[in-house]
Amino acid sequence: MMINQDLRSRASALRWYHTIDLGQGVVTEGVDDSPYRLARLNLPSLAGHTVLDVGAWDGFFSFEAEKRGASRVLATDHYSWSGPGWGTKAGFELARQALGSRVEDLDVDVMDLTPERVGAFDVVLFLGVLYHLRHPLLGLECVASVTRDLLILETVVDMIGSRRPAAAFYPGRELNSDPTNWWGPNVPAVHGMLHSVGFQQVETVTPPSSALFRTARTIAHKLRGDKRVIQDRAVFHARKSSTSGRNGPSSA
C-alpha cells in the first residue's frame, strides 16, 4: 500500500490520544490502545441507530460507530477540545477529513448535556469519563437524560473486594499521577448509580480482575515500595427498559 506522505506528516505533527487507522497507510500514534478498548465494549449492532459519543476526544469510537452503520453519530467533548489539558480538537478534525466521515460534533461539557441541547440518542457511549468527574452521579443524570435506550459505560473501578457500594476518592494525584482523576467506584456502586438515574437493566459485560488477583497485585506493589493506586477497569451496559433486546438497542 502506498503511504500518503502528506497525511502522515500532518498526523505526526499532532499529539494523539486515540490510535486510529486513517487509511492510506497511516495509523495515529495514540497513547491509548483504542482497538483493545473497543474489543472489551461488546458493542451491539448499531445499524440504523443514533449514537452519541460523550468525551469523544480524537473520535475513534465515534468513527467506529459510523463504520458499524449508525444512522447518525454526534461526537461531544469540551475538556479535551477546549479545556486546560493537552488535548485539542485538531486530531478529531484531521481524522474526520481523512476518513471522509459525516460524524457531527458539538463542544459541550458533560454537565451541560440536556435533551434540549443535544437531543436523545438510541445509544450513548460514555467511555473513560466518569472517574474524571468531580460530581459523577450528577454527570450520570445528565447522560441518562439524553439516552433513549442503551448506555455503554467504561470506567476505572476501585475497592473491588467490597460487596457494598463504595467509591475511592482521589483528592490529589493518587491515580496515575493525574489530578483530573477523582473517583474510583466499585462495581456495586456503578450498578447502584445507574439504577438511581433511571436505568432498569444493568449488566457488567467486562468485569474487573477478581479480588484475589487484585490483593496479590497490591501486595506485590507494596513489596516493591510502589505507592500507586491499584485499580482496574470495567464495562457496563445499562438499558432504560428491561425488555430491550440483548443484541441491540430497542427499535422504539
59-80 mean pLDDT: 98
196-203 mean pLDDT: 98
CA atoms within 13 A on the CB side of 161: 9
Interval 139-148: pLDDT, tens? 999 999 999 9
155 phi/psi in degrees, rounded to 5 = -155, 160
For 125, residues 6+ apart whose C-beta sits below 8 A from its C-beta are 51, 52, 53, 54, 61, 62, 65, 152
DSSP label of 128: S
In whole angstroms, what is the distance from residue 11 CA to residue 94 CA?
8
Interval 120-174: pLDDT, tens? 999 999 999 999 999 999 999 999 999 999 999 999 999 887 889 999 999 988 8
Q: Nine-digit cell at 130?
A: 466518569
Whose CA is closest to 168, among 189, 192, 147? 189
Query: Per-residue confidence at 216, pLDDT binned at 50, 70, 90?
Result: very low
Instruction: Judge whether 251 and 241 are in contact, CB under 8 Å.
Output: no
CA angle (102 as vertex; 46, 55 as ends), nearest 5:
70
Q: Is the pLDDT of residue 222 over 80?
A: no
For residue 212, the model assigns a pLDDT of 47
Query: Per-residue confidence at 197, pLDDT binned at 50, 70, 90?
Result: very high
Q: Nine-digit cell at 180?
A: 483530573
101-127 mean pLDDT: 98
Query: Per-residue confidence at 244, pLDDT binned at 50, 70, 90?
Result: low
